[in-house]
Structure 1
Amino acid sequence: MTTRTCAIIGTGAIAGAHAEAIAALPDRARLVGVVDVRPDRAAAFAATWDVPTYPTAADLLDAQRPDLVHLCTPPGTHLPLALECLAAGASPVVEKPPVLSLAEFDRLRAAEADAGVPVATVFQHRFGSGAVRLRRLLAEGLLGRPLVASAHTLWFRDDDYFAVPWRGRWDVEGGGPTMGHGIHQFDLLLSILGPWSSVTALAERQARPTDTEDVSAALVRFRSGAVATVVNSLVSPRQTSQLRFDFEHATVDLEHLYGYTNANWSLTAGPDVTSAWESDPADVPSGHTAQFTAVLDALDAGEAPPVSTADTRVTMEFVAAVYASSFTGRTVARGEITEGDPFYASMAGTGAPWLRQPAR
């Protein structure tokens, strides 16, 4: 195994999870520097993790030549920083949402191909042992066909949360809970149920002082024939993250908030499926360490690190389809949003209806 050098750009709250994941694998990864637009915050973070700070990403990349750069900055900065990393030969590990639009994402994929350096998106819920086990049993045929599913991210963010200048704005955050909050849950749903085929959705601004939505709901058809509901909310006082999968031979439930262990999963099934489910005692939480371990495993094997840009584009196209269906009132098929479509260039597309309404 190779010890990879890592850097972090953006030392806000989520950066701590990245630093902890690096520190949890000391024989395989080493943090070598950090950058933040606020020097005081960068200095405090660097002191905690005993690493140097640099004034800019360019300075860090030139001084350290890191193998991996964890991008923990606001979404609107992800694309230019990722492009800068790729040009320097460093693999970006990008927090969600990776970019602001499908157009930006395709630009990132093109740069990845030109550089010959892989990009990984942080979708850590794919990597907990419960999700790994579920995908395995489904692939082995023990669960039968997927029939019905749901992914509901019911969270609460008050008005003060949106006082941060980049939150709640299409131009710098890219969207509301569909883009930046529920994306973890429905990315996990998509990783299990496979290719989606169409989306019928609505999005509303119910209560928050934002340009983006604070609630969305979608009905999804999958190529397998399964159907699912996906609900994303920031106005739900009793917070929960819920997924349910009804297969021919089992129901599998997951309820947690921001991360799960095996204890958060439940199974309703016959003895054969139950025995297979319980046969793997491993309990890996769905955190950044689980995904970072998988990233390092893939790099050591000479493979693209998960979650690859090919995988991430499926989820990003789903987000665009939710907004397109919500704002046009039509069902959107996978593959329909292409260059020239307003929802390709921006998740806001033709514009949120509440922003088109004249002021009262």
Structure 2
Amino acid sequence: MNEPYRLGIIGAGSVAHLHAHAVSDLDNATLVAASRRSDDPGRAFADTHDCTWYSDYEVLLDDEVPDAVLIATPSGAHLEPTVAAAERGVHVLCEKPLEITSARIDRMIAAADANDVKLGGIFQHRYSGAVQTLQDTVAQGRFGPLAVASATVPWWREDAYYEGTWKGTEELDGGGALMNQSIHAIDAIAWIARANMDLALGQNPVAEVYAQTDVRGHDPAHIEVEDTAVATLRYRDGTLGHILGATSMYPGTRRRLRVAGRDGTAELHEDEIVCWQLRDERPVDEEIRATYGDDDTDGGASDPMAIDYDNHTQNLRAFLAWVDHDADFLLPAPEARTAVAIIEAIYESAESGQPVTLAL
């Protein structure tokens, strides 16, 4: 496309500022409009990012006719604007989770397919250099057959985070520490583990989960869903793993990904590689440790906005390349659906007290 893509943001809340900054960093995109029902915050967002504010996203779609929109509404309100955009021939890049149930995601996918538009997801950690390096090294088989692939998100949120908002509600958050905070790590570890398997994008590498969830760090009057969850995993190739997701662990420490097999172990804390040991040491391994071994940022451990938006920029750039010339994209909707399916199975297991088998 010769002219910059005209983009809109539907849901101009806190995370939308990251998306607006990401758009501004791209030469082939410009932000033309944003929607938010609240008048003063909507106008303030539009003034900050030099775009037009709309209180109604359907009016935005009709008046501005954008090439694509970024969906950043509350999690359980992604379906309706996605369908509205698709029906108008507008491409959609949607914040995590795509929606709060697989069934709602399937309706989004059906609308995109019926109208021949692209529907992709935002899981910006797939665009972290450290995460991509780990995934590529697993794909090369250098760790050998994996024994373990695990994710830990030991975070904290103050009570005020849940009070008087959609966060922590079943209707709009769809879950707690897993569906909202830990979903990035769940997506990343599933993507990394699948690199060792003969599976395509959109095929779920997790075969079975067994889980428990609870509310341990907050007043249950203010949160309808879990703030603490632990699950064991069996992947389709026999690899074992676990997921710990919490917003109950004061003061909150860094997200961790760990993979290990008979030929090596790697551990990431946020985007820092803290362990990288392989049986067949190569010169590239020292380069990897030097490149990714010095990053002490805490990410969103205690502050949901304490994150860098550069990976968002990479996620958006890749999406627009997919729209423009059908370039490879890591997160088409069926692939972005994978983490939600895993979390749904964890919730089902926690409720039933039984292991749950996942569909491929």
* SS of aligned partner of 1:287: helix
**Corresponding residue for residue 237 of structure 1:** 250
Q: Is the 8 A contact 2:21 2:309 kept in 1?
A: no
Shift, 1:285, TM fit? 8.0
Shift, 1:278, TM fit? 2.3
Q: Deviations over 1:21-55 (max 9, x none)?
A: 11111x21111111111121111111111111123
**Corresponding residue for residue 263 of structure 2:** 249
2:260 and 2:330 map into 1 onto residues whose CA distance is 26
1:170 and 1:134 map into 2 onto residues whose CA distance is 34
Q: Is the 8 A contact 1:125 1:286 kept in 2?
A: no
Verify: 1:203 aligned to 2:192, yes or no. Answer: no
Q: Deviations over 1:193-214 (max 9, x none)?
A: 0211100111112232311111
Q: Is the 8 A contact 1:21 1:292 kept in 2?
A: yes
2:274 and 2:242 map into 1 onto residues whose CA distance is 19
Verify: 1:126 aligned to 2:140, yes or no. Answer: no
Residues 84-99 of structure 1: pairs in structure 2 closer than 5 A: 84-99=84-99
1:142 and 1:212 map into 2 onto residues whose CA distance is 39
The verdict on how the C-alpha distance between 1:23 and 1:286 changes in structure 2, with shifts beyond 3 A counting, is: closer
1:133 and 1:207 map into 2 onto residues whose CA distance is 35
* SS of aligned partner of 2:70: strand
Q: Deviations over 1:177-203 (max 9, x none)?
A: 111110001110001102111001111
* SS of aligned partner of 2:326: coil
Give structure 1 stretches of 5+ with no counterpart: 337-360
Moved more, 92-101 or 318-327: 92-101
Shift, 1:71, TM fit? 1.1
Verify: 1:275 aligned to 2:284, yes or no. Answer: yes
Residues 77-156 of structure 1: pairs in structure 2 closer than 5 A: 77-156=77-156
The verdict on how the C-alpha distance between 1:104 and 1:300 changes in structure 2, with shifts beyond 3 A counting, is: same
2:321 and 2:277 map into 1 onto residues whose CA distance is 33
Q: Deviations over 1:71-111 (max 9, x none)?
A: 11111211111111111111221111221212111111111
TM (norm. structure 1) is 0.86
Shift, 1:176, TM fit? 0.8
Q: After the TM superposition, which parts of structure 1 deviate over 4 Å for at least 4 consecutive aligned residues?
A: 279-286
RMSD: 2.2
**Corresponding residue for residue 354 of structure 2:** 330
TM (norm. structure 2) is 0.86
The alignment of Structure 1 onto Structure 2 pairs a total of residues equal to: 330
* SS of aligned partner of 2:234: strand
1:4 and 1:80 map into 2 onto residues whose CA distance is 23
1:297 and 1:238 map into 2 onto residues whose CA distance is 39
Verify: 1:56 aligned to 2:56, yes or no. Answer: yes
2:8 and 2:118 map into 1 onto residues whose CA distance is 16
The verdict on how the C-alpha distance between 1:326 and 1:311 changes in structure 2, with shifts beyond 3 A counting, is: same
